[in-house]
Structure 1
Amino acid sequence: MSFIQGYDQETLRELVDLDECAARLAEIESQRSLPALLERVWLLKVLDRLDEALKLADETVRQARMAGTRKDVLRARVLHATILQYRGAYAAAEQELAACADEAEGQRWVSIAAFAHHHHGKNAYDAEDYETARESFKRSLFLRRESGAEDRDLETALLAIEAAERRRTSQLVAG
């Protein structure tokens, strides 16, 4: 079940039903599996409970390292970096996301690489580095196409590219 109803055209953040997210968080609060931990981190993030999200994201990365696969570790690290991004720690998030994207591409884990590049772009977008955001979104789109992603995932990448281009153009005109 996807809680994402769309994306804000200006911020590129997920649009969700907060009540549904809070109910789901309460439902899985005691679950300790890696997928449940990842979902809880994401739910805390979209509910803007960032201190709790960061603490749980740290725990999730540790658990993935101890009991998960390398792919699990990458997914947990990307999610951890998005919490850093939401907290305004763009440089730390950029470093983590770039490392995750590079590792995933090196292993030819195309869908994880696309996921990491997309979030790298969102971090750059929030940091007002629209050129980097645009390039990361383009790389994500290329990888999503290569992996046979669904149309809605391709559309998300295209909308992000357009938003970064709009912001980049506005920045150039204003500067």
Structure 2
Amino acid sequence: MSYISGYDPDTLREKVSPTQCRDRLEEIGEQRSLPALLERVWLLKVLDRAEEALVVSEQSVRVARMAGTRKDLLRARILHATVLQALGKYSAAWQELTACAEEAEGQGWAGIGAFAHMHRGKVSYDDGDYEGARKDFKRALFLRQESGATEDQLESVLMAIDAADRRRAAASVAS
């Protein structure tokens, strides 16, 4: 079940039902499986509980490192970086996402590479680097197309590219 009903065209944040997210968080409880940890991190993050999400995301990275696959570890690291972004730690998030994108692409994992580039673009976007954001969004679009992504996934990237273009144009007019 997807808790995302869309994306805000200005902030690029997920639109979710807080009630559904809180209910799911309660349902998961303190489960310690990697999928449950990752879901809990995301739910805490979208509920603006980034400090709590950070603790759980660090735990998910440890669990993935000990018991998961390389793909699991990359997903956990990417999610951890999105929590760093939510906390305003853009440099650390960008560095982590860069390493994840490079590893994913080096392994030929286009879907995970797209995920990393999309989120690195969002970090750049939040940090005011709209040109960098646009480059990452374009790379994410290419990788999503390569991996056979759904129309919704492609639409969200196209919306992000459009948002970066709008912000870039507004910034150049203002200067």
* TM band (smaller chain): over 0.9
Secondary structure class of the residue paired with 1:48: coil
1:112 aligned to 2:127? no
Distance 1:29 1:86 in 2: 22
Secondary structure class of the residue paired with 2:141: helix
**Deviation readout 1:115-171 (Å, 9 max, x if unpaired):** 000000011000010000000000000000011111110000000000000000101
1:86 aligned to 2:86? yes
Distance 2:150 2:20 in 1: 24
Residue 9 of structure 1 corresponds to: 9
Distance 1:165 1:99 in 2: 26
Distance 1:148 1:77 in 2: 23
Residue 47 of structure 1 corresponds to: 47
Secondary structure class of the residue paired with 1:15: strand
Shift of 1:64: 0.2
Secondary structure class of the residue paired with 2:57: helix
Which letter maps to 2:120? Answer: H
Residue 95 of structure 1 corresponds to: 95
Which letter maps to 1:36? Answer: A
Distance 1:171 1:140 in 2: 23
Distance 1:30 1:99 in 2: 30
Distance 2:94 2:113 in 1: 14
1:126 aligned to 2:145? no
Structure 1 residue ranges, 4+ long, deviating more than 3 angstroms after superposition: none
Residue 169 of structure 1 corresponds to: 169
Shift of 1:30: 2.1
**Deviation readout 1:11-58 (Å, 9 max, x if unpaired):** 000000000000000000121110110000000000111111000000
Residue 146 of structure 1 corresponds to: 146
Residue 34 of structure 1 corresponds to: 34
Distance 1:45 1:143 in 2: 25
Residue 137 of structure 1 corresponds to: 137
Secondary structure class of the residue paired with 2:32: coil
Distance 1:148 1:53 in 2: 30
Shift of 1:87: 0.5
Distance 1:37 1:91 in 2: 24
Cα RMSD over matched residues? 0.5
**Deviation readout 1:88-117 (Å, 9 max, x if unpaired):** 000000000011000000000010000000
Residue 59 of structure 1 corresponds to: 59
